[in-house]
């Protein structure tokens, strides 16, 4: 058997394969020996042992020195300068589509020969990408201190270019414009005679060598959660931009994200929260739960002390404070959305009425009850016009003494409601679009709201941090 394999190996070299590609096309993936591949590469490096000086007909020169070592050095240099704190890495290759066609052509040749020579010769082979990773892994690990892992959150993508890739793919006109993944599937299902009639028995000698194009990287997203308080009545939750024009200088999101951005060196963020308050509404009490998705972060390791430092940095701003910052898993984010319409929120509304203040016990003794709210006029420009049923779970009302003689009486309302209730509209009715409302219950059309605060969001997530 070994003699038969050696004969085929020599034939592949004569056809124009490098030693590495000749070896990998005669090796099962389960039986691959990286030392043999490295030894084969060394043979290619010795000019006297090479049968041909052309770029390999299978890998287009990817395994041939100095190309191989130059690519390894590019990856090492990139990993060292990219500042990722991940202890592991994985590598992906964007190779010209014709390398898939060339490997398929060679595998067909080996398959035909094995039938007449030795049926035990493997029909599957070590693919180009896997062989390269095996050969390069040791050098990269030694130079960077990072270990290779197929499960690593850090993916390094190396892209290559071949000048005549399109021309070769056009030889198989049924495969033009297909992705690499689809191409592999199509080739495996294509009739071998049809393939050979369009492409030929074996790949031609390449007219140029494959060339390195660029390196890019991507780290899996990392998620941070916490709670924030908003003390300002002139601050939006997210950047307020209308017609590409900024209306406010900052936002809750930006105040929180800036210190985190400085630490994590991320490409971008995705900020989410359990609801949102209006610009003129404060978020008091335990704060509003929020999460931040860090997209492609360089720094991903957070200690207890690091989170406290970030909190302190954020809390230097008098408008927003943050607490309970912590790392969470992506699967934990469902807690933020679970029961989004049914969790209870507690508010405090500072209200007034002109003239005589009617019996407030009407409010204290009327809960729970349901209301129907049509989309408020103030948000009709961005939300669908529809009726929503919401529950008022409790109301507690008390008069407020104000040393102002203006014909108005003031009172405070503490109410717990189903999430999604528009509180301002529940007070004044929004021209009859919310029923019932405080105006209809108190039978006074002058009832209105002066200020609103969120006191609590009954969501026990994320878990509190012990300070």
Q: What is the CATH number of the domain that holds 422?
A: 3.30.70.3190
Specify whether 229 is located in the same domain as 214.
Answer: no
Closest CA to 277 of 210, 229, 220, 205: 229
> Are residues 208 and 242 both part of a single domain?
no
- Residue 109 and residue 194 in one domain: yes
Position 464 in a domain: no
pLDDT reported for residue 362: 78
In sequence order, the β-bridge partners of residue 346 are 416, 456
What pLDDT was estimated at residue 121? 65
Domain range enclosing 105: 2-219
In a shared domain, residues 391 and 370: yes
Residue 466 lies in a domain: no
In a domain? residue 202: yes
Query: DSSP secondary-structure letter at 64?
Result: S
Q: Are 210 and 55 in contact (CB under 8 A)?
A: yes
pLDDT in tens, the chain (467 residues): 455 788 889 999 999 999 999 999 999 898 888 998 888 888 876 655 555 678 999 999 999 878 888 899 999 999 999 999 999 999 999 999 999 999 999 999 998 887 666 666 667 899 999 999 999 999 999 999 999 999 999 999 999 999 999 888 887 766 555 666 678 788 888 888 888 888 888 999 998 999 999 999 999 999 999 999 999 999 999 998 888 888 888 999 999 999 999 999 999 999 999 999 999 999 999 999 999 999 999 999 999 999 999 999 999 999 999 999 999 999 999 988 876 767 899 999 999 999 877 777 778 888 899 999 999 999 998 899 999 999 999 999 999 888 777 788 899 999 999 999 999 999 999 999 999 999 999 889 999 999 999 999 999 999 999 99
Residue 362 belongs to a domain = yes
Q: For residue 337, what pLDDT is reported?
A: 82
pLDDT at 175: 53
Tell me if 154 is assigned to some domain.
yes
Domain CATH code at residue 229: 3.30.70.2510
pLDDT in the model for residue 366? 85
Do 228 and 252 contact (CB within 8 A), yes or no? yes
Let me know whether 148 and 230 are in one domain. Answer: no
Nearest Cα residue to 443 out of 347, 358, 363, 377: 358
**What's the pLDDT at 313?**
97
Between β-strands 281-295 and 448-457, what pairing exists: parallel, antiparallel or unpaired?
A: parallel
Domain-terminating residue out of 311, 337, 363: 337
Asked if 136 and 37 touch (Cβ cutoff 8 Å), the reply is no
Identify the pLDDT of residue 53: 75
Grouping H, G, I as helix, E, B as strand and the rest as coil, residue 212 is strand
| End-to-end CA separation in angstroms for the chain | 70
- The residues annotated as belonging to the active site are 278
Q: Within the chain, what is the greatest distance between any pair of CA atoms?
A: 109
> Residue 465 falls within a domain, yes or no?
no
The pTM for the full model equals 0.86
Same domain, residue pair 321 and 426: no
Separation of alpha carbons 433 and 424, rounded Å: 12
Same domain, 154 and 206: yes
Task: Return the pLDDT at 173.
Answer: 66
Task: Count up the domains in the chain and report the number.
Answer: 3
* Structural domain ending residue among the three candidates 308, 337, 366: 337
Quick one: 276 and 386 in the same domain?
no
Burial class (CB in 10 A: 0-12, 13-18, 19+), 105: buried
The reply to whether 125 and 213 lie within a common domain is yes
| 285: alpha, beta or left? (left if phi > 0; alpha if psi -120 to 50) | left
Domain's final residue, options 167, 187, 219: 219
On whether both 279 and 397 belong to a single domain, the answer is no
Shared-domain flag, residues 293 and 372: no
**Pair (384, 330) in one structural domain:** no
**Residue at 462 is within a domain:** no
The answer as to whether 6 is a domain residue is yes
């Amino acid at each position: 058997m070994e003699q038969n394999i050696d004969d085929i190996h020599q034939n592949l070299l004569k056809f124009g394969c490098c030693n590495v590609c000749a070896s990998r096309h005669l090796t099962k993936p389960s039986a691959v020996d990286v030392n043999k591949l490295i030894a084969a590469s060394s043979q290619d490096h010795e000019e006297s042992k090479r049968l041909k000086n052309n770029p390999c007909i299978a890998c287009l020169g990817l395994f041939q020195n100095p190309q191989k070592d130059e690519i390894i050095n590019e990856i090492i240099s990139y990993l060292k300068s990219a500042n990722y704190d991940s202890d592991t890495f994985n590598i992906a290759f964007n190779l010209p589509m014709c390398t898939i066609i060339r490997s398929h052509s060679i595998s067909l040749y080996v398959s035909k020969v094995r039938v007449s020579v030795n049926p035990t010769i493997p029909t599957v082979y070590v693919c180009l990408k896997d062989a390269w990773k095996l050969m390069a892994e040791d050098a990269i690990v030694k130079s960077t201190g990072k270990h290779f892992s197929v499960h690593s959150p850090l993916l390094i993508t190396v892209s290559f270019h071949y000048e005549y890739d399109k021309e070769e793919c056009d030889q198989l006109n049924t495969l033009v414009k297909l992705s690499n993944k689809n191409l592999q599937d199509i080739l495996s299902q294509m009739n071998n005679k049809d393939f050979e009639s369009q492409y030929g028995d074996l790949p031609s000698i390449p007219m140029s060598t494959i060339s390195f194009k660029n390196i890019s990287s991507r780290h899996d997203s990392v998620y941070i959660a916490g709670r924030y308080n908003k003390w300002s009545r002139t601050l939006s939750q997210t950047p307020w931009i209308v017609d590409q024009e900024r209306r406010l200088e900052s936002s809750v999101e930006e105040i929180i994200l800036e210190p985190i951005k400085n630490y994590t060196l991320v490409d971008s963020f995705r900020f989410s929260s359990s609801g949102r308050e209006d610009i003129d509404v404060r978020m008091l009490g335990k704060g509003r739960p929020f999460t931040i998705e860090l997209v492609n972060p360089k720094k991903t390791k957070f200690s207890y002390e690091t989170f406290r430092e970030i909190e302190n940095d954020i809390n230097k701003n008098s408008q927003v404070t943050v607490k309970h910052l912590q790392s969470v898993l992506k699967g934990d984010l469902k807690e933020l959305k679970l029961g989004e319409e049914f969790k209870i929120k507690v508010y405090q509304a500072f209200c007034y009425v002109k003239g005589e203040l009617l019996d407030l016990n009407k409010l204290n003794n009327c809960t729970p009850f349901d209301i129907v709210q049509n989309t408020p006029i103030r948000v009709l420009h961005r939300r669908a016009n529809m009726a929503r049923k919401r529950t008022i779970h409790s109301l507690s009302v008390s008069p407020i003494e104000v040393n102002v003689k203006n014909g108005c009486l003031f009172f405070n309302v503490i109410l717990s409601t189903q999430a999604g209730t528009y509180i301002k509209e529940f007070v004044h009715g929004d021209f009859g679009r919310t029923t019932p409302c405080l105006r209809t219950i108190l039978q006074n059309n002058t009832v209105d709201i002066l200020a609103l605060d969120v006191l609590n969001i009954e969501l026990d997530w994320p878990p509190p941090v012990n300070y």
